[in-house]
Amino acid sequence: MQVAQRYRHALIDGLDRPLAHAASLPNPFYTEPSVLRHELDVLADRQWRLLAAEGQIPHPGDVMPVTMSGMPLVLVRGRDAKVRCFHNVCKHRGVPLVNATARGATSLKCQYHSWRYALDGSLDRASHFNGINDHRLCHVDASCLNLDEVRCETWHGLVCVNPGGHAAPIADAMASLDARWREYDFPQLRFGGTLSYRVAGNWKLVVENFLDSYHNPFVHPVLNKASLWDEHYPIVEASYFGVGTHVYDAALAGHGGLPIFRGLTPQRAQGAEYLCVSPTLMLGLHADYLFVLSVDPVDAQTTDENVYFFFVEHDEPSDDTIAIRNTVLANWDRINREDLPIIEGMQLCRRSPAFGSAAFSPFHEGPLHAFQRSLAALMADQATPAQAARDAQATQLADSVEA
């Protein structure tokens, strides 16, 4: 049975029911490589994936290599200050062009044969291709040797890509969230650092853990004091889901004293919300900072998790402010590390016959159910171009074997 059909059955048989009667995705959706391959095809074709913060490449000439589920990419801020994304692959012999973040680059040069590309991806010089000091491309269409560009857009300081090209413009995709958070003036935010983890667990478990506030008193007792368990409210909308609180105490969380967004209502000034806005993108918004968490599936049982922090900034930050910001990162590093053994333990148990599928807590797990239901609907849709190409290749191979 194809993976899309399996997701369709999971939706009909378990997820597309009222919360109190729904059943979660069964174990194979967290362990089988074929499931992940289908998921990656759909995500690449129809969703935006977060690659970086604009603050990581702030100036023209800044370049940064990144990978997305093992695919080598490079982000470039051109002389026109626009951020572009290219496949990080020299078109001559398939060598990575950029191996480390660099500043002030005027071109991208392959270390193997010194082919050179402009920052807009066009081939600038095929070094010595036609002989010593003869850089002509005889009998070759140079335009076919430009770097392959990946669709790239930015949203509030985030650099996102949609390799398949079929996602709605990112402004449209995020419009409902912008409307919900319209009181927050995002231009007041400045990039403030990252945290990264390699998790021995399926990417969906990382997202589900983010949406699960049920575990806070038991796994995160310090966080639970600052963001009380019984004060959380569920958020389930068509295009996002998560939890919020009206009583987030920054002082108890250890970072009191940071500047907050100007113009917030008293309720917003004391609250926080944690939302999943696409299958791989989550945000935590507070009165004084925003964190953005993305998951990058490596294989069916391994995930790279990246967290980007943005702080409200009205003036040049003082040493005390920088120290408090560092405390925020340290606190979330502790919280994330508290989650790691739980996520990795869940992954281990996804191979046990003692666990197959689970009920959802009607009180706590509405957002988690909404994530699985939304994901199953997305994954049960028609095949992607990448899948169709693989099917065609398989058919051709079968035909040639029969012949």
Half-sphere exposure of 58 (CA within 13 A, CB side): 5
The tokens for 254 are 């250890």
* 270, 221: one domain: yes
Q: Give the structural domain span for 115.
A: 56-154
pTM of structure: 0.92
In a domain, 71, yes or no: yes
Q: Is residue 386 part of a domain?
A: no
Q: Is 99 among the domain residues?
A: yes
Among 154, 177, 208, where does a domain finish? 154
CATH number of the domain to which 87 belongs: 2.102.10.10
Residue 223 shares a structural domain with residue 268: yes
Q: Which residue has the tokens 């919020």?
A: 244
Q: Which residues contact 123 (CB under 8 A, 6 or more apart)?
A: 91, 115, 116, 117, 142, 145, 146, 147
Split into its structural domains, the chain has a count of 2
Q: Kindly report the CATH number assigned to the domain that includes residue 247.
A: 3.90.380.10
CA neighbor of 146 nearest in space, from 104, 108, 103: 108
Write down the pLDDT at residue 398.
47
Q: Could you tell me the sign of the dihedral formed by the alpha carbons of 304, 167, 66, 324, in that order?
A: negative
Same domain as 185, residue 76: no
Query: What are the pLDDT digits (tens) for 248-293?
Result: 888 888 888 999 999 999 989 999 999 999 999 999 999 999 999 9
Q: The tokens of 212 are what?
A: 């699960």
* 197 shares its domain with 139: no
> Which of 130, 154, 178 is the last residue before a domain boundary?
154
Same domain flag for 135 and 254: no
Query: Per the domain annotation, does 394 fall within a domain?
Result: no
Q: Please indicate, yes or no, whether residues 141 and 171 belong to a single structural domain of this protein.
A: no
Whose CA is closest to 364, among 238, 212, 218?
212
Mark whether 265 and 117 lie in a shared domain: no
pLDDT, tens digit, 9 for 90 and up, residues 49-79? 999 999 999 999 999 999 999 999 999 999 9
